[in-house]
Structure 1
Amino acid sequence: MRAWLPAFGLLAVTVTVLCGGWFAPHDVTEVVGVPWSDEVPPGTDVLGRDVLSRLLAGGAGLLATALPAGLAASLLGTVAGLTAAWTPWVERLVLRTSAGMLAVPGLLVVLTCAVALPSWAAVLAGMVLLGTPLSARVVHAAATPLRRAGFVLAAVVRGERPRAVLARELLPVVGATVLSDAGLRVVAAMQLTVAVHALGLGPQPPAPDWAVMIRENLPGVALNPWSVLAPAAAIAALTTVLLLGLDLLGHRIVPMPVPRGYAPPPAGPTRRSAGVVELREVTVESLFAGLDLTVAQGEIVGIVGPTGTGKTTLLRLLLGDVRPGVRMTAGQLLWHGEPVALGSRAARRWRRRHVGLVPQDPATTLDPLRRIGSVAPADVLARLGLPADVARRRPHALSGGQAQRVVLARALAADPELLLLDEPTSGLDAQTRHLVTEELTSRRPSTVIVTHDLRWAVSVCDRVVELRHGVLVPAGQTPTRPRPAVVELGEPVLRLDDVAVERRGRELVHGVGLELARGEFLALVGPSGAGKSTLLHGVAGLHPVTGRVDVRGSVALLGQDPVAELNPAHSLGSSVARPLRLAGVRRRAARDRVVELLAEVGLGPEFAVRRPGECSGGQRQRAALARALAGDPDVLLADEATSALDAATADAVLEVLDRRRAAGLAVLFVTHDDDVAARANRVFVLVGGRCVERVST
């Protein structure tokens, strides 16, 4: 269902209620029979007037009062909540002021307004005073976790004004929350309006009004129940339609793929499995056809392959789950030879007892309110190289690589019989990868690892298979990565002199000095948690720094998290086009240029209309790169920009950067990939808060 359908339905209901009096068969003040007659339902009212005519005309006043009041409270609350999520001093002001306003008894506020003001003004004032603080808190809570999202930081770095970031980036993502909250405010305003009118502080007889009809006809409810039930049902129906309609419209703001179901295989004899877990003859539309995979007891199986071929979907099938948007038409999941019903309650119970999982985006699975020590054992955290104080931290205080290891420790804590890992080393340096390898090989549960690091997979796995064109085949030899083209360097475009960056009162890096020339590729390496991303954000102006940062020209930031880099409410084409539109490119020319930019990073034109939730991690990463390059920056600050890509795709992306470098682009590239670092003109190592150049031998 498209977003316009619930919007059209809401508009139709609103117009019908507001114009209902036009269709009344009688004048609303005309006496048509004896009082409270029910011979022809809904009969007559206390004065013998036609209930149907008054019912058709009686909702206009209620709706005309409640709808603007509820929307006004929601609008003011949304503005306050978004501003509070962005600006610290506004956040303190809004939270303290709203807490004080909500502490005042609501009934006292409503009665005071109703006595001192006309009914419509009383409802408006009551909703603004009582509803705005609630809306502000709801929107603030939804928007606050997003203010450090990659797509927001990228907008800040490219120079967008705060109000543009709030309206363009944050508001669409929290739009579902805003519209659902607006439904609640409108319903609250409707209830407040009904209460004020029922108390006799609203329209006076003989004006038609549903609330007044209920009050007038209560004494005769036994004679003609319809005189009371009809307006009461109309109020209930209208509030339900408004609430559900706005809620449905909100859920269409950021549409998610809808599961198309699972067609179970035909009944028949089941042969015993030779392994702990087995996928047998699995067929998934547009991905797999008759795919088979068996994992033996204690075996470690690696799965590699180009990005977007369905490796994560395959892992989800081994988890006993069918992700949204996937249609599985045939096949079985077997556990010790017994079928597991995918997507069932039994499959969920089986997962809890037997399976450990590290997903592709592990940081998103950590509860932001829980300390790390409550989710993972200290001994496993220590063996994975995490600092001693990590148990006292919360997820927001972890780097990407640290969050990755925490989730791995959590998965290992239950000693699962089956361990499923999706890119478990993408954010880790070589030393930390070695610690992960030791932990996995010492435990030896049956393990399936999806990775783009073929060299590491060969070193840790008993068997490595490649997913290509919907089938699994033995992986080929470790590829030889090409060397970059030689690019002539120009004048310096970035200079750091004795730069230090603090975060949350702690100095993470200090004394950093380096120079980046036009056309140069400078790699920044170092252990996970050393502060590489923090330094990049400091250079981009997102963290306060001391020392001197001299940038000549424009800067683009490409973050490390493929999930957070793109706004889920925008299509890839819209995200890539945004820097072009800011540069003054006309809409049609921008659309053409978007297709060219997507093609430059290896994505077809069909990706322009897709949303991030419909793409793989590698596809999202390449789209984010296309957006970063769209504004033709002088300096690209790239944080693990190839971590979600297979070797061939990563090389293709790096070749794109080589071509851009030949045109003058300077690249500061944070990476843990030795092959990527080998392509750089120079390599700097960040360790212990210091940044030193690695000398080639």
Structure 2
Amino acid sequence: MTNLLDIQNLNVSFRTYGIRNNVLKDVGLKIPEGGRVALIGETGSGKSVTSKTILGTLPDNAVVESGTIRFDGEDVLTLSQGKREAMKGTAFSIIMQDPLSSFNPVFRIGRHLDDVLRFSDRRLGETSNSRDRRRRIEQVLRQVQLSDPARIFDAYPSQLSGGMRQRVLIALALLHQPRLLIADEPGTALDVTTQDEIMKLINSLVSDNGLSLLMITHNLGVVRKMADDIYVMRHGEIVEHGPLKTIFRTPQQAYTKALIAAIPPLYGPGVEDQKAVDAEPIVSLSNVSKSFDEKLLFGRGRSHLAVKDVSLQVSKGEIFGLAGESGSGKTTVARMIMGLIRPTAGSITVDGDTVGEKGRGPDFRELIQIVYQNPGTSLNPKRTVGQTLSVPLRFAGLRADAVEKRIHELLAHVELQPHYISKYPHELSGGQKQRVAIARALAANPKIIVLDEPTSALDVSVQKNVIDLLQKLRDDLGLTFLFISHDLSLMRNFCSHIAIMLRGEVVESGEPRQVFADPQHPYTRALIAAVPVMSDEEDRLKPQTSIEERRRYLADTAV
């Protein structure tokens, strides 16, 4: 089979303040015509640098030291800047990772697409008018299964769901009918059901249009559905490559084995059933509802019911999982438990006190704390680790000598060495940042910690390390966790109880082994069916619910 893309002995370095850092080392990668290839590895392994080198979008301080990148037999590294620019969008194109940050919020979707198409046409020496470009854009929007392209064209990014924005990004990549589609973590920012639909859409587009695919990801469950061949990258080097089934069944490198072993199983051997906790409740919600007033034009308004009649109990020492897609009400429930917003109806008690009566004073802050989703944005970039951890300690009234001693204790709890005190967030890895965020939450000696998607921004192997740490802290310190996530395979192995939320309501609740063995609600079955797994056996054990059935159900229950 002819190779559309053939990379040989590629070496790329970044030069900063006279220091050369070699980030790609003798990289070799081949994508056959019509082939589907996955490039996997942890953050910082060189995956995105490889794609940027192909596209010609490396930063100014990057230097291609040696090697070749042949596209359809021609070495793109020897081409003029003009010819390389002309290849973007026509020879190869990229689907970016985050659909929200990829758009300017003040421009309509049509403006984004028209700007790209108009610029590309001019670069290719073609003439077009706005009416012709709109017709071509709406045609591509239909191609990515957006049923009302005229409305999408005139909408702002904020008016679209995450899945719709991702489809628009795919349409953006397809505007000039490229031969190679590079997908850089296209499902990472999406819920599991939306991710499932997007992956199936990309697969169908690749097949129907005869495209070649380079899938860049660290989600091996997604790779299993998207690729024929796998290249494993670590520290800028390809450490293993081969057919998907060979890599999954008989990996040769210890690093590849560790990546595969870090995937929490959904069914079968290796599943870790957490014991149910038999203790008195530390958190109780009774018929809790929350509505928000939305202001419309001309002073008119309406009420949006975000949480509806939710009742649940979290026992002391439990890891209670709250699952559901974006907008299901999970975070609103957590914010009410923390006393950040008041319920419209119902009552919430935390450690025997009604939330709202006790207030948000120091006593309450010592009772319950939170670890946020993205440690890169939840830590102040201008504060060192020591300064970050000292803030809650000084707020609690500790003297300077006691603060320093407590900071060392907190770092020991999260298994970081004392020298991390002087480091800034940008000097830490993603896992180290999250450990600092966990240490900050522990500073006030809380009884309860809300974990709001604490691992979604982390690589799978780092995720496993953080989860192991959290379990150890729960056992050592007697903590209770409220774990918010849409990663059901992780919750299956980490939580002792799980509640599934849909449009503000708890539709199913129970021990994970019960919920996953025999899900009662059609939405629960749809969520589990969409989880990417690592084996055919797990696929057979999942509920057999199609995308069409899921869409019909969601349409029937729309409010």
TM-score interval, normalised by the smaller of the two chains: 0.5 to 0.7
Alpha-carbon distance, 1:367 to partner? 0.9
In structure 2, how many angstroms separate the alpha carbons of the residues matched to 1:395 and 1:636? 33
For residues 330 and 80 of structure 2, the distance between their equivalents in structure 1, rounded to whole angstroms, comes to 40
The offset of 1:275, in angstroms, is 2.8
Q: What does residue range 293-442 of structure 1 map to in structure 2 within 5 Å? A: 293-323=29-59, 329-336=65-72, 337-340=74-77, 347=84, 350-351=87-88, 353-372=90-109, 375=112, 379=141, 383=145, 394-396=156-158, 404=166, 406-442=168-204
3-state SS in 2 of match to 1:365: coil
Q: How much has 1:661 moved relative to structure 2? A: 1.9
The structure that has the greater radius of gyration is 1
Cα distance, 1:382–1:443 mapped onto 2, change above 3 Å: closer
CA-to-aligned-CA distance 1:406-445 (integer Å, 9 cap, x gap): 5445434554433333322224344323211221111113
Whether contact under 8 Å (2:319, 2:481) holds in the other structure is: yes
SS class of match (2:377) = coil
Contact 1:499 1:546 in 2 (8 A): yes
Instruction: Give the whole-Å Cα distance in 2 for the aligned partners of 1:568 and 1:499.
Output: 37
In the aligned structure 1, how far is the partner of 2:150 from the partner of 2:340? 28
Higher percent of residues as strand? 2
1:89-108 mapped onto 2 (5 Å cutoff):
none
Give the whole-Å Cα distance in 2 for the aligned partners of 1:418 and 1:686. Answer: 39
Q: Is the 8 A contact 2:322 2:500 kept in 1?
A: yes
Of 481, 493, 504, the residue aligned with 1:667 is 481
In the other structure, the counterpart of 1:275 is 4
Q: Specify whether residues 656 and 295 from structure 1 end up closer, same or farther in structure 2 by C-alpha distance, changes over 3 A only.
A: same
Distance in 2 separating the partners of 1:577 and 1:310: 35
Query: Which amino acid is the alignment partner of residue 435 of structure 1?
Result: E
Distance verdict in 2 for CA 1:323–1:546, change over 3 Å: farther
Query: 2:447 aligned with 1:634, yes or no?
Result: yes
Q: Structure 1: any 5+ residue segments left out of the alignment?
A: 1-272
Structure 1 counterpart of 2:37, which letter?
V
Among residues 329, 343, 349, which one is paired with 1:550 in the alignment?
A: 349
TM-score, with structure 1 as normaliser: 0.52
TM-score norm. by structure 2 comes to 0.63
- Paired with 2:431 and 2:39, the residues of 1 have a C-alpha distance of 15
For residue 20 of structure 1, what is the aligned residue in structure 2? none
Partner Cα distance (2:307, 2:453) in 1: 19
**Separation of aligned partners in 1, 2:150 and 2:285:** 32
Counterpart for residue 468 of structure 1:
234
Question: Contact 1:404–1:427 (CA<8 Å) still a contact in 2?
Answer: no
2:222 equivalent among 456, 465, 470: 456
Measured in 1, the distance between the counterparts of 2:397 and 2:47 equals 40
Residues 138-178 of structure 1: CA distance to partner in whole angstroms, max 9, x if unpaired?
A: xxxxxxxxxxxxxxxxxxxxxxxxxxxxxxxxxxxxxxxxx
Query: In the alignment, is the contact (CA less than 8 A) between 1:493 and 1:634 conserved in 2?
Result: no
Residues 1:648 and 2:442 are matched in the alignment = no
Task: Tell whether the 8 Å contact from 2:11 to 2:23 is kept in structure 1 after alignment.
Answer: no
For the residues of structure 1 that align with 2:79 and 2:311, how far apart are their CA atoms? 55
Match of 2:496 among 649, 659, 681: 681
Indicate the residue corresponding to 2:380 in structure 1. 567
2:304 to 497, 506, 522: 506
AA of the residue aligned to 2:325: P
Q: Which amino acid aligns with 2:465?
A: A
Offset of residue 458 of structure 1: 1.2
SS in 2 for 1:523: strand
2:506 aligns to what? 691
* 2:361 match: none
* Cα distance, 1:389–1:591 mapped onto 2, change above 3 Å: farther
Q: Give the distance between the partners of 2:447 and 2:399, measured in 1 at CA.
A: 22
Given residue 466 of structure 2, which amino acid in structure 1 is its aligned partner? V
Residue segments in structure 2 that go unaligned for 5+ positions in a row: 14-20, 114-136, 242-246, 250-259, 265-269, 295-302, 352-363, 519-559
**Residues 1:311 and 1:500: Cα distance change in structure 2 (over 3 Å):** farther
SS at match of 1:530: coil
In the TM superposition, residue 277 of structure 1 has moved relative to its aligned partner by 5.8
- State yes or no: 1:522 paired with 2:335: no
Cα-to-partner distance string for 1:354-386 (whole Å, 9 max, x where unaligned): 443344444222211124465576745973799
The residue type equivalent to 2:498 in the other structure is V
Higher helix proportion: 1
Q: In the superposition, relative to structure 1, how do residues 346 and 621 fare at CA in structure 2: closer, same or farther (>3 Å)?
A: farther
Partner letter of residue 682 of structure 1? H
Question: 8 Å contact 2:431–2:463 — kept in the other structure?
Answer: no
Question: Does the C-alpha gap of structure 1 residues 567 and 489 become closer, same or farther in structure 2, counting only changes over 3 Å?
Answer: farther
Tell me, yes or no, if the aligned pair for 1:428 and 1:672 is still in contact at 8 Å: no
Q: Is the 8 A contact 2:273 2:496 kept in 1?
A: no
Q: How does 1:196-235 map to 2 (within 5 A)?
A: none
Deviations 1:206-251 (A, max 9, x none): xxxxxxxxxxxxxxxxxxxxxxxxxxxxxxxxxxxxxxxxxxxxxx
CA change 1:403–1:319 in 2 (3 A) is same
Is the 1:295–1:301 contact (alpha carbons within 8 Å) kept by the matching residues of 2?
A: yes
C-alpha change, 1:611 and 1:438, in structure 2 (3 Å) is: same
Which amino acid is 2:505 matched to? R
Structure 1 residues 300 and 373: CA distance shift in structure 2, 3 A? same
Post-superposition offset of 1:676 = 0.9
- The secondary structure found in structure 2 opposite 1:456 is helix
Q: Which residue of 2 aligns with 1:492?
A: 281
AA aligned to 1:426 is T
Q: Which deviates more, 515-524 or 650-659? A: 515-524
Q: How much identity, in percent, do the aligned residues show?
A: 30
- TM-superposed CA distance for 1:598, in Å, is 6.0
Superposition deviation, residue 457 in structure 1: 0.8
Greater shift in the superposed pair: 506-515 or 473-482: 473-482
User: How many residues in Structure 1 have an aligned counterpart in Structure 2?
Assistant: 425
For the aligned residues, what is the CA RMSD?
4.1
Per mean C-alpha deviation after superposition, the further-off stretch among 407-416 and 642-651 is 407-416
Q: Which of structures 1 and 2 has the larger relative contact order (alpha carbons within 8 angstroms, sep 6+)?
A: 2
2:257: which partner in 1? none
Measure, in 1, the Cα distance between the counterparts of 2:201 and 2:409: 45
Deviation digits for residues 273-320 of structure 1, max 9, x if unmatched?
A: 943363642244354321222223332222222344333333333332
Map residues 60-71 of structure 1 onto 2, 5 A cutoff.
none
Distance 2:401 2:85 in 1: 48
Aligned to 1:582: 395
> Offset of 1:332 from its aligned partner?
4.2
